[in-house]
Amino acid sequence: MTSAPLAAVTGAEGFIGSHLTEALVASGHRVRAMVQYNSFSSYGWLESLAPDVLDQVDVVLGDVRDPGSVRALADGAETVYHLAALIAIPYSYQAPHSYVDTNVTGTLNVLEAIRALGTPRLVHTSTSETYGTARTVPITEDHPINTQSPYAASKAGGDRLADSYHASFGTPVVTLRPFNTYGPRQSMRAVIPTVIGQVAAGSRTITLGDLRPTRDFTFVTDTVRAFLAVGTAPADAVVGRTFNAGTGEEISIGDLVRLIGKVMDAELTVTEDEQRIRPADSEVMRLIADATRLREATGWAPEHNLESGLAATAAFFRDPANLARYKTGVYNV
């Protein structure tokens, strides 16, 4: 009897990481899941997974900034999914050193571990923010990199390290570049849970920043399917390459609010909060994905449209037990 393949996940306690962990178990994997060390022994969103799922998960407390933690996590894994990152753009204005430590040095530690251990595959997580405001649309993987925030710069630095390790050492890395992922368990630092959370808590006057930017929103289970696709596809189809994951459809934040109001049957008005507005040259005004490369290499395509994904997200936030985890009246930097 063969044992289940072992996948390792950094950032497993987070929004996408917890969904990926769940999906890996459903696909027949055992998972070694790194949760950032904390003295509360909190496993983040992994604690919300069903007991039979958690039976297949070995949760380890560690830190991608520590090489020893990363090497122990990766040892024996067939695939490492590297999701650990600092991701909030506003906080990157306040603490840029932290973003370099986690997103650049942390990625370096993962690459070094993969190289030393001979791990068969690394899936590295990028972000559409590395493109900056679209110069051509839809955005292909050949679009220029234009980092408009310290967060984006730190993620681009990790991407370039991943590219360099493949070129220099043959490290079997594939980079997935998701566009704006949303869904259950997302933090209030993102616009969709910010709006839905306020509505679920009873507010009809929503506090937001700039309503003009457009984004390509992808439901979390579709993003997770993209991770699994590049993690399991034949090596010659994906290794050494970067892939966008997005729907190819864009919506402005203002129109998004109106759609959420429709989905949640709520009449909404918006007030502007200056602290939620990025510096003018830092705001990414337009993002829309061309995921042709991913589709041709793996067959991936999104299964959810925006309205159905928003309905599922609203149902999550309307559950009082879930809503109680959030501070809907507080601006999450």
**Cβ-proximal residues to 317 (8 Å cutoff; 6+ apart), any chain:** 184, 193, 196, 197, 200, 323, 326
Catalytic option among 151, 165, 182, 326: 151
Q: 306 is written with which tokens?
A: 């925006």
Based on the residue annotation, tell me whether 37 is a catalytic residue of this protein.
Answer: no
Q: What is the DSSP letter of 102?
A: I
Please report, for residues 99, 259, 311, the alpha-carbon distance to residue 263 in angstroms, rounded to integers and kept in the order given: 36, 6, 6
At 204, give phi and psi (nearest 5°).
Answer: -120, -5
Is-contact 177 128, C-beta < 8 A? yes
Residue 158 to residue 168: CA distance in whole angstroms: 15
DSSP β-bridge partners for residue 214? 252, 286
CA 225, distance to chain mean position in Å, is 12
By annotation, the residues acting in catalysis are 151
